[in-house]
Structure 1
Amino acid sequence: MTLIVGHRGARGEAPENTLASFAKALAAGVTRVELDLHLSADRQLMVIHDPTLKRTTGVRGKVAQHSAEDLQRIDARLGLPGWPEPCPIPTLEQVFGTFPDIEHYQLEVKSGSTAQSRIVLAAILQLVERFGLQNRVVVTSSSRTLLRTARDTAYPLATGLVEEYGLLDPLKSARRYQCRFLILKWTLCRPTLIQQAQAQGLHVSVWTVNEIEQMQRLIDMGVDSIITDYPHLAMRVLA
């Protein structure tokens, strides 16, 4: 059965990557979520998609230029106009602590050097171990540097390759970096690719799927999970 994953929580229903967004996904009955991570100036894991603040908060500057304490005072509801209440940028620690009912997390890390990758991977592992979520987390990225770092350091958490363009063979790349998940953009999905990935033991997760016909086509194709901005809609289609 195809699983539903809330994209940045419930990006189409609440301000993305905020506590309100994850609560909205849970309210739809979705207990698997995808979220994005960047490091603050004091190396705390912040839940925000862009390396800059402007799009979701209206504030100029980079996430990495601010402390976690300062970032948690910034309202991140700009991405969904009309939301009635302030939505501060959360830390990953806050998300883990607030939502014990979330069964699985896709933690997407954007990019960075090998040194930066080591810092991010270590910070994630420390939090995951503290909350006992080792079997409920996959660290995903399109960054070969990060995935290579995870492989070469025998990183104990599951990893996943995020593939948007398909310029290189995603199955070869996933195998090279010892990934357990393959996160495909929906435009790359073909029945043969899905079947080959699953035959290699990969969980195939597809993003971002927001149209009913698209959802149904991918469910029929047998993908393992669908990442959507609209968890309530996806749950109705699944039903």
Structure 2
Amino acid sequence: MSRVALVTGAASGIGAAVSTELADNGWVVAGLDLRPAPRLAASIAVDVSDAGQVRNAVDAIRGQLGPIDALVNAAGHYEMTPVSQISAAAWTTMLRVHLGGLRNAVHAVLPDMIERRTGAIVAISSELAIGGGDGDAHYAAAKGAVVGFVRSLAAEVATHGVRVNSVAPGPTDTPLLAADSPWRDPAYLATLPAGRLCTPEEIAYAAHFLIDGPGYCTGEVLSPNSGAVI
């Protein structure tokens, strides 16, 4: 029987790499994103911060492909802003996309996983959730909340056969990082033990490991970050 994975943010960056990694390893992959995600078994354009849109999309995917066995929440939004310049709207948007998007996706897929007593959920967080960053307070706060959500949910659903983990990447070579981003500055890269940005494919491999790897792993955070946080 085919295994079905749902990936949010599937149209680009880490989400696209996760979709490819899972599809290449026998998963039937459906994607949610503001933009179409080509070459997937199903792709629905949604705003992940809208619970109703996510719920309707998941219902449609379930009807087309069958029960969802794994969720990878990779939809994201990033900007650098000093704390004094973070508007209320920017603060709310950051939380709605990252924490709200995760909550909405989990609410849509979790009841079936609990009923079937199997499932894996992986949320993409950030090393900034662990180490913080200059100009990244609202992003780091949202990603830190994701880690707290993951660990709490993992404890809540472990007895139901559902595993919940997180991947906290360091700066990754995706379109979210502008060409002039300080994270791309050679002087910053020289401070990393690995000396380079992570690739989306490396993050995807970590997410795949948490889905298909050891069944005892839940409530954990993997940190592929080129040594940025050790």
- Same-fold call, TM cutoff 0.5: no
TM-score by length of 2: 0.34
Kindly indicate which of the two structures has a greater share of residues assigned to helix: 2
